Amino acid sequence: MPIRLSQGSAAHWLLRGLGVLAVAYVALAPAFRELTPSQLGELTDIAVLALAALGLNLLIGFTGQISIGHSAFFGVGAYTLAILVIDHGWTPGWTYPATAVVCFVVGVLVGVPALRLKGLYLALVTLALAQIFPALVRKFDDFTGGSTGIGGLRYDAPAWTGLEAGRRGRAEWLYWLALGVLALGYLLVRNLVKSRVGRAMVAVRDNSTAASVMGVHVAATKTIVFGLSAALTGMAGCTFALRQTQATPDNVNFTIVGAIVFLVIMVVGGAGSLMGPVIGAFVYYRGDQFTREIPGKSWLPETFRDFLQGRPNLATIVFAALLILLMFVAPSGLVGLAKRVGRRFVVVTPAPPA
């Protein structure tokens, strides 16, 4: 028999508080634990992936527009930062708002023709976008540096942060930056989704005809969400470029693979859930890390280790199989699964209207 909690009761707030504490404990770890630069780098990567998936979730999860091309926006973000910093001498921090604007415009430009497309066709066009982005980067080489890309990106921690100047300080500063942008993005998405605009988005997702009859401006909603989604993913690209210290067209995250990874993270976490992308990014990154190390593990039986000798891609295969399995068990992702399981133990009932 599940425990029943009334919404807004002290016990309910306690439960919520515990959840926030758990997230804060993981996210704020560098503040009270001594982490190596490479550990900080891993956390930064997770925050970057989470932000990229957060942008995608706004588009797919809440507005029902499929995109398999967000790697292009991620790449536009990375290149905007790289060009502004190297060619125009900007401070990296100030390129974030500029990138958001650039990616918003690019997103709207893609979103306008996308208005006439639905479902699979939209998936196709965005797929095409992901496909040509690296080719375009190579083509316009006097602008983007072609195949060599743009290197030498470095962001030393500003003096006011009190962080040391070396590699460690840079890694820590980059993590706080990534976390800060992620938190801002999360708040933006959360407030948007819970507002009038958010209800319009969900209405467009569930039944665009009905939404339009109810007075929702479907075209404007879709286009603006496309722009916002691109802006969020683009800012993730900024941090990514800083973390890589360069932007090159060969980087997998700027290709179709990146677009698929963002989509997968969003789905694993839970499409249309607020925390989904963050949880998805964490699980994806750590899971990928774990399976990559499997072939060298000593607990593996000897014969199995011999079998794996010289065979690449084990991590991807395991991951793809788990992804398909997840579609059987919980199409709504880990958050959906947790909610379903959680309901067996705790049920939150809405408070009676005052």
Partner 1 sequence: MERFLQYFFDGLSQGSIYALLALGLVIIYRGSGYLNFAQGEMAMISAFMAWWYADLGLSPWLAVGVAALTAFVLAMGIERFIIRPIGHRSPFAVVVASIGLFLGINALAPFAWKVTIPEAFESLFPNEPTDFVRIGGAEWREQNIGVLVVLGVISLVLYLVFQRTRFGLAMRAVASNPESSPLVGIRTGQVLAVSWGMAAAVGAIGGAMVASLRGNVDASMMLTIFFAATAAATLGGYDSLLGAVFGGIVLGVFENMVAGYQPDVIGQQLKGVVSLVVILVVLLIKPSGLFGSERVERV
Among residue numbers 242 through 261, which ones bind partner 1 (CB under 8 A)? 256, 260
Whole-number minimum distance, CB 133 to partner 1, in Å? 10
Query: 117-156: which residues touch partner 1 (CB under 8 A)?
Result: 117, 119-121, 123-125, 127-129, 131-132, 135-136, 138-139
Examine residue 293 and tell whether it contacts partner 1 (CB under 8 A).
no
The least CB distance from residue 146 to partner 1, in Å, is 10
* Token reading at 283: 């699980």
- Minimum Å distance from CB 29 to partner 1? 31
Among 89, 162, 296, 312, binds partner 1 (CB under 8 A): 312
Take residue 159 and report the two structure tokens written for it. Answer: 């003096």
Task: Give the separation between CA 112 and CA 220, rounded to whole angstroms.
Answer: 9
Q: Which of 23, 31, 187, 314 binds partner 1 (CB under 8 A)?
A: 314
Nearest residue (CB) to partner 1, 14 versus 320 = 320
By the rule CB under 8 A, 218 interacts with partner 1: no
Q: Determine if 310 is a binding residue for partner 1 (CB under 8 A).
A: yes
What is the SS3 assignment for 129-197? Answer: HHHHHHHHHHHCHHHHCCCCCECCCCCCCCHHHCCCCCHHHHHHHHHHHHHHHHHHHHHHHHHHHCCHH
Segment near partner 1 (CB under 8 A); pick from 111-119, 151-159, 186-194, 229-237: 111-119
DSSP alpha helix (H) spans, the chain:
10-27, 29-32, 37-60, 70-88, 92-114, 119-139, 141-144, 167-193, 196-206, 208-213, 218-244, 256-269, 276-293, 302-308, 314-329, 333-342
Residue 352 is a binding residue for partner 1 (CB under 8 A):
no
Minimum CB separation from partner 1 for residue 99, in Å? 24
- Structural contact between residues 73 and 107, judged by C-beta atoms closer than 8 angstroms: yes
- For partner 1 (CB under 8 A), the number of binding residues is 42
- The answer to whether 68 and 256 have CB atoms below 8 angstroms apart is yes
Nearer to partner 1, 28 or 320 (CB): 320
Q: What residues pair up with 5 in beta bridges, in sequence order?
A: 348
Residues 14-53 close enough to bind partner 1 by CB under 8 A: none
Per CB under 8 A, 313 contacts partner 1: yes
The one among 102, 238, 271, 278 contacting partner 1 by CB under 8 A: 271
For the bound state, the minimum distance from the C-beta of residue 116 to partner 1, rounded and expressed in Å, comes to 6
Residues from 64 through 83 that contact partner 1 (CB under 8 A): 66, 68
Q: Which of 138, 199 has the CB closer to partner 1?
A: 138
**86 or 125, CB closer to partner 1?**
125
Site for partner 1 in 322-351 (CB under 8 A): 323-324, 327-328, 331
Count CB neighbours of 303 within 10 A: 8
Write down the least CB distance from residue 314 to partner 1, Å.
7
For 336-340, the CB contacts below 8 A with 24+ separation are 336/270, 336/273
CB of 311 to partner 1, least distance (A): 5
Task: Mention every residue, 6+ apart, whose C-beta is less than 8 A from residue 271.
Answer: 57, 60, 61, 332, 333
What are the tokens at 279? 């949880």
Question: 228 vs 47, 62, 81, CA distance in Å?
Answer: 18, 12, 18
Gap between the terminal Cα atoms of the chain: 28
What does the radius of gyration of the chain's CA atoms come to, in whole angstroms?
21
The answer to whether the CB of 61 falls within 8 A of the CB of 189 is no
Cβ 53 vs Cβ 334: under 8 Å? no
Q: Is 216 in the site for partner 1 (CB under 8 A)?
A: no
> Applying CB under 8 A, which residues contact partner 1?
66, 68, 113, 116-117, 119-121, 123-125, 127-129, 131-132, 135-136, 138-139, 209, 256, 260, 263-264, 267, 271, 310-314, 316-317, 319-321, 323-324, 327-328, 331
